[in-house]
């Protein structure tokens, strides 16, 4: 998985030198995030913010920041957890008249804090689909569904690792810069 994450990150970062000369539009998005847990954590609620840069009509790059908190239960350990994530994705866009849909893949880095367990920070892999739907001339409804693969190792505690994979639903607004 590290090789796949490294290749996705390298592909995304390779477009950065050309952004200034070919970029067309930039957007900021913010809203609520709900993590539907697939693993040892329970569902979590959080916030997100992201920056999107259009490279051309069909390709874009997104940088994101997210925060979520919830509960977990692994073997005899349980309690609350928080996750702060930083991610980068390459997006393939399909523009319409009043909306733009997209598909993307990327990687992230997550700072994890669990009650009673020392958990390592960890790289993740993500796949996403979404849409920006026109609300006004200067604001869009931002809808995003992503699968995040994340399984950090524990440093100390009663378990070896914590599976934090999730189907993440994001709803918010976006506006141009």
Instruction: Please state the domain extents for the chain.
Output: 2-176
Residue 78 has pLDDT above 90, yes or no: no
Average pLDDT over residues 110-137: 91
pLDDT of 25 reads: 87
Nearest to 131 by CA among 177, 97, 165, 106: 97
pTM of the model: 0.82
pLDDT of 57 reads: 87
Dmax over Cα atoms in the chain, in whole Å?
A: 55
Residue 23 has pLDDT above 60, yes or no: no
Can you say whether the dihedral through the CA atoms of 76, 77, 79, 82 is positive or negative?
A: negative
**What is the C-alpha separation between 131 and 123, in angstroms, rounded?**
26
pLDDT of 12 reads: 52
| Cβ 131 vs Cβ 102: under 8 Å | yes
Considering only 1-10, 53-62, 100-109, which range has the smallest mean pLDDT? 1-10
pLDDT of 108 reads: 95
Stronger pLDDT, 18 or 101, i.e. the higher one? 101
Average pLDDT over residues 57-67: 95
What percent of the chain has pLDDT above 70? 86
**What is the C-alpha separation between 66 and 166, in angstroms, rounded?**
14
pLDDT of 131 reads: 96
- Give the model's confidence band at 158: pLDDT under 50 very low, under 70 low, under 90 confident, else very high: confident
CATH of 2-176, one of 3.30.420.10, 3.40.50.720, 2.60.40.150, 2.40.160.20: 2.40.160.20
Residue 4, phi then psi, degrees to nearest 5:
-65, -45
**What is the C-alpha separation between 75 and 25, in angstroms, rounded?**
48
Nearest to 42 by CA among 171, 162, 170, 172: 162
**What is the C-alpha separation between 124 and 44, in angstroms, rounded?**
17
| Cβ 10 vs Cβ 90: under 8 Å | no
pLDDT of 93 reads: 95
**What is the C-alpha separation between 45 and 82, in angstroms, rounded?**
10
Mean pLDDT of the chain: 86
Residue 14 has pLDDT above 70, yes or no: no
Element (H, E) at 10: helix 2-14
């Amino acid at each position: 998985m590290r090789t796949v994450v490294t290749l996705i990150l390298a592909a995304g970062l390779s477009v950065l030198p050309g952004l200034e000369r070919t970029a067309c539009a930039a957007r900021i998005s913010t809203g609520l995030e709900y993590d539907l847990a697939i693993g040892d954590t329970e569902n979590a609620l959080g916030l997100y913010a992201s920056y999107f840069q259009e490279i051309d009509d069909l390709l874009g790059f997104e940088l994101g920041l997210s925060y979520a908190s919830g509960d977990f239960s692994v073997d005899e350990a349980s309690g609350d957890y928080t996750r702060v994530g930083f991610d980068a994705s390459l997006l393939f866009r399909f523009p319409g008249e009043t909306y733009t849909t997209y598909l993307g893949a990327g990687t992230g880095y997550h700072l994890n804090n669990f009650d009673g367990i020392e958990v390592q920070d960890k790289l993740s892999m993500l796949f996403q689909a979404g849409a920006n739907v026109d609300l006004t001339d200067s604001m869009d409804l931002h809808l995003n569904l992503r699968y995040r693969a994340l399984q950090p190792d524990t440093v100390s505690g009663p378990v070896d690792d914590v599976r934090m994979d999730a189907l993440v639903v994001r709803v918010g607004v976006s506006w141009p810069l």
